[in-house]
Chains A and B, each alone.
Chain A
């Protein structure tokens, strides 16, 4: 039995007249989880928002179409009528649990506000309902949670509270827009299981919006594939994943990272890290003598051989980025970092500047890692020029070669970063690192901000470059799938310590530490 039907929904950007959703039609049945899959910009969030009537009319123009719920067209309702439907009948969980809760109100206030608004209960009953829903979402210490402010809770707890707020009125439909993307992998599984259980219990329907195919494959009953606002394919989860019709769907399914590296022969050590410690002062007391410190790295020991890729995997806040920045000599640390048997921490500023040629970094976000006011030629030539004086024509030739190397047209050199897509920008960032002819490149989540298909191509490029130039890589990521695809050895880092390390295959097939086991379990859910 269908509960929600979207018919020929077409949405334009009011200013640019760009078609954002093009004639989208689909049905949501009672008790079903419908997965909406697409890369960023495909219109999947927009679809979710329009079902709630949350589209900003000054930006979006709903050209035609209807969204039928209970024989009413949601798009034709007034704001007050919509308010009655929202939360009580159709509810939503957003991606970012940090931004969705008001930081200056206690959880109890925010949760009870919803109950007050939509249900006729007296004060005692309200609290009882609030506690019940918290227990249901797996938050057992209800009194403590209710008396907390959002900042006192972890990301996972916050997302549970968002789910509690969304579910407290027992809605018929839940829209979950990337509900676990901002969470660590180990938490993802728990939240998804929770949503699945609630669904069965309340016979609720769910729109599960995600870019993550494995997640959709495991949790959705039916799937629709969106690309550039067009609905490409619709079908049951089994059909879509086992016999996809559309070329793009095949590409998507094919994009999950596969083993890209070959076995590495023994070679000499390039980078050696001994007893690396790093800490930051927490209380910014100027006159106080006994400062408090936050330990970001404690007693890290590891090495990278030349021509080898090592993977550093860990959740957010585990210290993996700090480790990358320490190797880059961008942070104060204690301990020793040897590159080719030279202790980097003992170098004079001028010698250190010269040594920077040998190690480069590629950052996560290709949008903030390229200066928006410089064209690509300037960006690529900058590093070369800071060490050598080369004529303009030679520089141009060098930069053209770099562009070809990373799979871009040399004719694009005069363009500015904003004229490129995320994947192209990441290629430029890699070209910039290559321009210095380094021995070691640190990749700090280089593909996390990219769509899956682009991610695969970038990983291929990275591995190809390694074969060609015998580069050593330190690959930092939270995504064990990506790490295991391209690393020879893996280090698992948690709470600023390395807790396990081994050759990739060994680590995946035979983990020793409990945390590693959990990590592997949630990373390879399919």
Chain B
């Protein structure tokens, strides 16, 4: 308890840390509501004095008096004309485009410049750039969280076992890690992305297979140090089981290195996803992603709104994470006063 409150005091005395964290949380929480912020369906819609919530419930064209059994297209002329009738109305999200909605009525060639219809222009298939940025940012961060969480769990697990039992166990596992880490990660990714249908879960599994090793080294070192601490020896003489000693005595005292690594790992994971998408090895083609936008920016070098906006979002995110990480590292450092 004491350590936590002390940590927060130290962390928030530096304004840069505090604001970086607040800004990051603000944008991240905002992006979690992307469907309400940026969507081609209205939030609320009233036709013939009946209320509809298209974002949450899917309605067919027929329900609005159309002909098709498929989901209604709210940008379609049929529905827009119905909305103009008498007391009918609709409230659209702030940015009335989803990441995959194509603006057919757009007159300018794609990619189109920023305009009143598309605040940040469209990409080369006529999809709204702002919408793709919002969804892409959310995907990147969630992806990074997942990858980091899995990496940390596996890393702590193996690191703890290696460090705590040391000796033979450590020796063999260390050799295994050496062999495992010398596998060419990128080629394996390329091979697998051609063998299987590319998907986010496949990507997470493949990256997790290799991502845990960097962390397990640190956990191992902490445990090697911790296993000989006198309070650990004392716990052993009290007759505690190995699991208990690991979980209650060594792990809490070696979490500092893990927590310090956290923001850097998250930013690293974002960067990995972006680079893979940029190379076309990442997420499936239709998924909104920062890397894919950057690739488009490279293809259409004159469309500055593609590369510049993505670049700013990416740099902003990474910068915030690094500031936060720096802050955490400083606050956990017991040597600085």
Contact = CB atoms under 8 A, between A and B. Distances in A.
B3 A373 contact: yes
B235 A382 contact: yes
B216 to A, nearest CB: 21
A386 B237 CA distance: 11
B82 interface: no
B236 interface: yes
Contacts of A360: 237-238
Contact of A386 (B233, B244, B253, B337): B244
Contact of B240 (A15, A364, A382): A382
A220 to B, nearest CB: 35
Interface in B39-88: none
Contacts of B298: none
A436 B239 CA distance: 10
Pick the 10 closest A-B CB pairs, nearest first: A383-B238, A369-B230, A356-B239, A373-B252, A363-B230, A371-B231, A353-B239, A368-B230, A15-B337, A386-B240
Contacts of B171: 286
Interface in A11-58: 15-16
A396 B248 CA distance: 19
Contacts of A382: 235, 238, 240, 248
A286 B168 CA distance: 10
Nearest to A364: B230
Interface of B: 2-3, 171, 229-241, 244, 248-249, 252-253, 337
A469 B240 CA distance: 24
B253 A372 contact: yes
Contact of B234 (A15, A372, A429): A429
A368 B229 contact: yes
A368 B234 CA distance: 10
Contacts of B234: 361, 363, 369, 429, 432
A127 to B, nearest CB: 41
Contacts of B249: 371, 374
Nearest to A14: B337
Contact of B238 (A286, A330, A356): A356
Contacts of A418: 2
A377 to B, nearest CB: 13
Contacts of A359: 237
A429 B239 CA distance: 16
A371 B234 CA distance: 10
A330 B233 contact: yes
A321 B96 CA distance: 74
28 contacts: A330-B237, A353-B239, A354-B239, A356-B237, A357-B239, A360-B237, A360-B238, A361-B237, A363-B234, A364-B230, A368-B230, A368-B231, A369-B231, A371-B235, A371-B248, A371-B249, A372-B253, A373-B3, A374-B248, A374-B249, A374-B252, A382-B238, A383-B240, A386-B239, A386-B241, A416-B2, A418-B2, A429-B234
A432 B231 CA distance: 11
B29 to A, nearest CB: 31
Interface centre among B171, B229, B230 (most CB of A within 10 A): B230
A427 B9 CA distance: 31
Contact of B239 (A16, A371, A387): A387
Nearest to A359: B237
Contact of B230 (A286, A365, A387): A365
Nearest to A372: B253
Interface residues of A, number: 32
Contacts of B239: 353-354, 356-357, 383, 386-387, 436
Interface centre among B231, B233, B239, B253 (most CB of A within 10 A): B231
A253 interface: no
Contacts of B241: 353, 386
Contacts of A330: 233, 236-237
A370 interface: yes
A180 B233 CA distance: 30
Contacts of A429: 234
A328 interface: yes
Interface in A412-433: 416, 418, 429, 432
Interface string A156-185: 000000000000000000000000000000
Contacts of A361: 233-234, 237
A387 B237 CA distance: 12
Contacts of B231: 368-371
Interface in A309-353: 325, 328, 330, 353
B238 to A, nearest CB: 4
Contacts of B238: 356, 360, 382-383, 386, 432, 436
B9 to A, nearest CB: 14
A418 B248 CA distance: 18
Contacts of A353: 239, 241
Contacts of B233: 325, 330, 361, 363
A286 B235 CA distance: 30
Interface centre among B229, B237, B240, B252 (most CB of A within 10 A): B237
Interface centre among B2, B233, B235, B239 (most CB of A within 10 A): B239
B228 to A, nearest CB: 10
A357 B239 CA distance: 7
A354 B241 CA distance: 11
A325 B236 CA distance: 11
A370 B244 CA distance: 16
A371 B253 contact: yes
B165 to A, nearest CB: 14
A250 B248 CA distance: 45
Nearest to B168: A286
Nearest to B252: A373
A418 B6 CA distance: 13
Given A370-B231, A371-B248, A436-B238, 14 more contacts: A356-B237, A356-B239, A360-B238, A363-B233, A365-B230, A368-B229, A369-B231, A369-B234, A373-B3, A382-B235, A382-B248, A383-B239, A386-B239, A432-B238
A16 B236 CA distance: 38
A162 B171 CA distance: 40
A347 to B, nearest CB: 12
A430 to B, nearest CB: 12
Nearest to A284: B171
Contacts of A364: 230
Nearest to A383: B238
Contacts of A432: 234, 238
Interface centre among A16, A369, A387, A436 (most CB of B within 10 A): A369
A522 to B, nearest CB: 28
Interface string A386-430: 110000000000000000000000000000101000000000010
Contacts of A370: 231
Contacts of A365: 230
A13 B240 CA distance: 42
A431 B253 CA distance: 23
B229 A373 contact: no
Contacts of B253: 371-373
A370 B252 CA distance: 13
B254 to A, nearest CB: 10
Contacts of B248: 371, 374, 382
A371 B235 CA distance: 9
